[in-house]
Every structure is written in C-alpha cells, then in structure tokens.
Amino acid sequence: MKRIITYGTFDLLHYGHINLLRRAKQQGDYLIVALSTDEFNLRSKNKVCYFEYEKRKALLEAIRYVDLVIPEENWEQKSEDVVRYHVDTFAIGDDWQGQFDFLKEFCDVVYLPRTPEISTTQIKTELRK
C-alpha cells in the first residue's frame, strides 16, 4: 500500500482544497492529512481560523479521498511523520515549490498545481468587502 501525506490548515474548505486532496490521493492508496492545530496556526503562522480544529478535522474526515487526519503542531514534525506513518510520498501545493525537498531523503516529494482561481485568502478578502 502506497501512503501519501499532505499538510495544511484547510480553513473555509473549498473546491481548491478538494482538488488538492483528490490529486494527492491519486499518488497512492492511503492519504494522511496533517491538519494545522489552532495553536500552531496562531503561534507560527499568525493565522486565526474561522473554524476551530475539531470542526476542520470533521470536514476533512468526511471527504472520500482522506483516510486519516493527524494534528500538525509544528513545522519540524514532517520528517518524523513521514517515518512514523511509513509515508511513500509527500504531496503539497506548488506554492511551496522547493521548500520540502529535504524530505526526499525519506520519500518522494510532489508539488501539485494549485487551483488558480480560488484560495482561502481570496474568500476572506471578498467577505470583508
């Protein structure tokens, strides 16, 4: 069984997120999503989520492409997660191109194209108007 892992906040879940999860799942058989915790988002990303962690987790668990959701609590855990969960491929949006090449020591790294016309930042900006 080929295991894939991806990371993200997945706040205000939209079709761009679904496209990313679908394409990540196409890389293998079992998709693990490391979901940024509220504390990590605030402390390290300076983000306040609209939906709290447990609600974002429930949304992700309802998506057919997602097999397991785990918490992302810090930037450094990626290598540890890849080893712990026997990951074959790390997949993430191409806006992170090159940022996770250090994981190639442990697994394949794939940068997936983003859905260009949608983002959570765009949604939040539009809602503020």
Secondary structure (DSSP) of the chain: --EEEEEE---S--HHHHHHHHHHHTTSSEEEEEEEPHHHHHHHH----SS-HHHHHHHHHTSTT--EEEEE--TTHHHHHHHHTT-SEEEEEGGGTTTTGGGGGTSEEEEEPP-TT--HHHHHHHHH-
| Prediction pTM value | 0.92
Residue 72 near residue 7, CB atoms below 8 Å: yes
- Concerning whether 129 is annotated as a catalytic residue, the answer is no
Q: Would you state the pLDDT for residue 9?
A: 95
According to the model, what pLDDT value does residue 23 have? 97
Choosing from 2, 25, 47, 55, the catalytic residue is 47
CATH number of 3-128: 3.40.50.620
Q: Could you say which of 2, 45, 55, 104 is catalytic?
A: 45
**Residue 75 pLDDT:** 93
Phi, psi of 118 (to 5 degrees): -145, 145
Domain extent listing, the chain: 3-128
User: Rounded to whole angstroms, how far apart are CA atoms 128 and 20?
Assistant: 26
Q: Specify whether 47 is catalytic.
A: yes
Handedness of CA 34, 6, 121, 127 (dihedral sign): negative
Beta strands 89-93 and 3-8: pairing type?
A: parallel
Residue 34: what pLDDT?
A: 98
Instruction: Give me the residues paired with residue 111 across strands.
Output: 92
Instruction: State residue 109's pLDDT score.
Output: 98
According to the model, what pLDDT value does residue 123 have? 77
Residues of the chain with pLDDT under 70: none
Tens of pLDDT along 76-107?
999 999 999 999 999 999 999 999 999 999 99
